[in-house]
Chain A
Amino acid sequence: MFPARYWREIPQRYRLEANKCKKCGRTYFPPRLVCADCKSRDFEPLKLKDEGKLLTYTVIRVPPSQFIEQSPYAIGIVELDGGTRILTQIADCNLDKLQIGMRLKIEFRKIQQDGEAGILCYGYKCVPV
């Protein structure tokens, strides 16, 4: 991964920085320049909550090459408290015990690695509460 591409997403991946439309209140992650609902361009910064519930999930058994060492692993869509939805891995869980509606919290983890000499890529994963 090209370092600049990785580096510019750090505020989102490390610190969950989102933004909120000042006019209609909708939140965006990653932050946006124009609100898809009310078209306002007036935003304030917002940090996402780090707990939420699982909306849907799957277990990836045939992964992309950078993820082979982690396979099989769970992926879910999580609605964080406050309403923002993210897609993330669900780590440290029993793959047979995942359930829609279960409570999860965000932890900071290594996500992937570009080969032996490539940069280590970090970010958020969810774990059961």
Chain B
Amino acid sequence: MRDVAIIGVGMNKWGELWQKPLRDIFVESALLAIEDSGVDHIDSMYVGCMSSGIFVGQEHLGSLLADYLGVNPIPCTRIESACASGGAAVRMGFMDVASGMSDIVLVGGVEKMTDVSGGGATYALSTAADQEYEVYHGVTFPGLYALMARSHMHQYGTSREQLAQVAVKNHENGSKNPLAQYPQKVTVEKVMNSILIADPLRILDCSPITDGAACAILCPAEMAKKLSKKPPVKIIASGHATDTIALHSRKDFTTLNATVKAAEKAYKMANLKPEDINLAEVHDCFTIAEIIVIEDLGFVKKGEGGKATESGMTALDGKIPVNTSGGLKSKGHPVGATGVGQLIEIVHQLRGEAGQRQVKDAKIGLTQNMGGSGGSTVVHIMQAM
């Protein structure tokens, strides 16, 4: 297997991009990534997208996006793993380069979510849960994560304030990110007084509805220094795991086993331990998700995610900064693009170009991208070269 490097990244500001169609949102990011890398061609493409069929009535993105990027007839495949589609696309590109099948691969993600009403978006997202045995009964995604939050609070004494502190931290980080959809800072009080969506989760515990794309260029590590204008970043591990689609089929609602298993595989592949990671971008689709995930990644003991957040351990100047980009919460969550957006933040940090958000001496970064209520998870570990 060949070592794989990231030599270019690109994304535009995410948000409610009413005037732009899905194809242009994607192509703009792809062109930025190609330009950032300096390559003059690409050999293949993988694009993560959760639900363009429901959001804009368009499937067959492989053809559409290669066509509009002007790279026909290269192979291009759309990858779907709900909100982990972007991470899964990165993994496909990683395997394509590692195997020797392709040299220069574009991995990306895109989602255009604002062409449907709020109810339409709720419906599209709910298709990532079990249609017949969860969604049929009227549960929503905030509802599923609320069920986890209630369990975590009951079992470990995690407080409502600690949930709010995840949002406060991530908006603080997002305020330093020019590409964040919601860069406004929030306070614990503001989160706790925002409207209830699914008890105990309130609107400011939830990530937003977002249009956006993100792209990266991968190549064999041995070619990276010659091809690339900027310091390349090596992908030293890729872990992927699944869990039951229905939350109620799991033994314990306070842990996300796909995340535990994907992280185990990634740590083993990189020959690293959780304490070797300098910073992480994790899937904070809801505040409770970040608390559970930092436990499941081994940054803190099970049950201590709330306390760790409260103590500042995961803040920008903490022991292990988490979601320096602002996370899904502040940067936005165009579901299929999110996993690639996470990778881009790690690349900026490892190149030392994260500006006000820069983590000092960042050498090793991790991304954790999760689908549905945790039914699939992709973890990548990156290292400065």
Query: A: which residues have CB within 8 A of B?
Result: 9, 29-30, 55-67, 70, 73, 75-77, 85-89, 100, 111-112, 121, 123, 125
A-B interface, 6 closest residue pairs, ranked by CB to CB distance from nearest: A58-B146, A67-B138, A59-B199, A87-B248, A77-B248, A56-B151
Closest A-chain residue to B150, C-beta based? Answer: A56
- Asked if B126 CB lies within 8 Å of chain A CBs, one says yes
B199 lies within 8 A of A55 (CB): no
In the assembled complex, the CB of B20 is this many whole angstroms from the nearest CB of chain A, namely 27
A85-B249, A111-B138, A123-B137 are known contacts. Are A75 and B154 too (CB-CB below 8 A)?
A: no
A30–B132 CB distance below 8 A:
yes
- Most chain A CB within a 10 A radius of its CB, from B135, B139, B196, B198: B139
By beta carbon, the residue of chain A nearest B196 is A61
CB neighbours (8 Å) of B147 from chain A are 56-58, 75-77
CB-nearest residue of chain B to A36: B244
**Bound Cα distance A65, B195 (Å):** 19
- List residues 188-209 of chain B with CB under 8 A from any CB of chain A: 195-201
Confirm or deny: B312 has a beta carbon within 8 angstroms of a beta carbon on chain A.
no
Q: Is A64's CB under 8 angstroms from B248's CB?
A: no
Inter-subunit contact B133/A86 (CB<8 Å): yes
Please name all residues of chain B whose beta carbon is closer than 8 Å to the beta carbon of A57 when the two chains form the complex: 147, 150
For A100, the chain B residues whose CB sits under 8 A away are: 150, 154
In the bound complex, residues from chain B placing their C-beta under 8 Å from that of A86 are 133, 248
Question: Could you tell me if A58 and B138 are in contact, using CB atoms closer than 8 angstroms?
Answer: no
Given contacts A62-B142, A87-B247, 13 further A-B contacts (CB under 8 A): A29-B133, A59-B196, A60-B143, A61-B195, A61-B198, A61-B199, A62-B140, A62-B197, A76-B147, A86-B133, A86-B248, A123-B136, A123-B137
User: Is there contact, CB below 8 Å, between A9 and B132?
Assistant: yes
B187 interface contact, C-beta 8 A? no
CB interface residues, B 102-143, toward A, < 8 Å:
119, 122-123, 126, 132-140, 142-143
Instruction: Choose from B148, B154, B199, B246 the contact partner of A87 (Cβ within 8 Å).
Output: B246
Choose among A61, A64, A88 the residue with the greatest number of B CB atoms under 10 Å from its CB. A61
Q: A110: shortest Cβ distance to chain B, in Å?
A: 12
Partner of A58, one of B134, B143, B195: B143
B122 closest partner in A (C-beta): A64
Q: What are 21 residue pairs bridging A and B, where the CB atoms are less than 8 Å apart in the complex?
A: A58-B143, A58-B147, A58-B199, A59-B196, A59-B199, A61-B196, A62-B140, A62-B142, A64-B119, A64-B126, A65-B119, A75-B138, A77-B253, A86-B133, A87-B134, A87-B137, A87-B247, A100-B154, A112-B136, A112-B138, A123-B136
Question: For A87, what are the chain B residues with a Cβ–Cβ distance below 8 Å?
Answer: 133-134, 137, 139, 246-248
Closest to B136 in A: A111
Distance in Å: Cβ of B252 to nearest Cβ of chain A: 10
Cα-based distance from A65 to B140 in the complex (angstroms): 11
Name the residue on B nearest A28 (C-beta).
Answer: B249
Contacts of A63 in B (CB 8 A): 138, 140
Determine the residue in chain B with the shortest Cβ distance to A125: B137
Contact (Cβ within 8 A) B135 A64:
yes
Bound together, the chains give a CA A6 to CA B246 distance in angstroms of 19
Chain A residue nearest in CB terms to B142: A62
Contacts of B140 in A (CB 8 A): 60, 62-64
Q: Are A60 and B139 in contact (CB under 8 A)?
A: yes
The A-contacting residues of B in range 357-384, CB under 8 angstroms, are none
Known contacts A56-B150, A57-B147, A100-B150; A89 and B137 CB within 8 A of each other: yes
Are B138 and A85 in contact (CB-based, < 8 A)?
A: no
A91 to B116, CA, bound (A): 31
Once the chains are docked, how many angstroms separate the CA of A67 from the CA of B123?
12
On chain B, the residues within 8 Å of A56 by CB distance are 147-148, 150-151, 154, 253
Query: Is there an interface contact between B119 and A75, defined as CB atoms closer than 8 Å?
Result: no
Interfacial chain B residues near A73, Cβ < 8 Å: 138
Min Cβ gap B362→A in Å is 37
Chain A residues with CB under 8 A of B247: 77, 87
Report yes or no: A75 in contact with B139, Cβ–Cβ below 8 A.
Answer: yes
> Which of A9, A55, A60 touches B138 (beta carbons < 8 Å)?
A60
Structural contact, B123 and A64, CB atoms closer than 8 A? yes
Separation of A53 and B199 alpha carbons in the complex (Å): 19
The interface residues of chain A lying within 8 Å CB-to-CB of B248 are 77, 85-87
The reply to whether A88 and B137 contact each other, CB–CB distance below 8 Å, is yes
Q: Give Cα A62–Cα B195 distance, bound, in whole angstroms.
A: 10
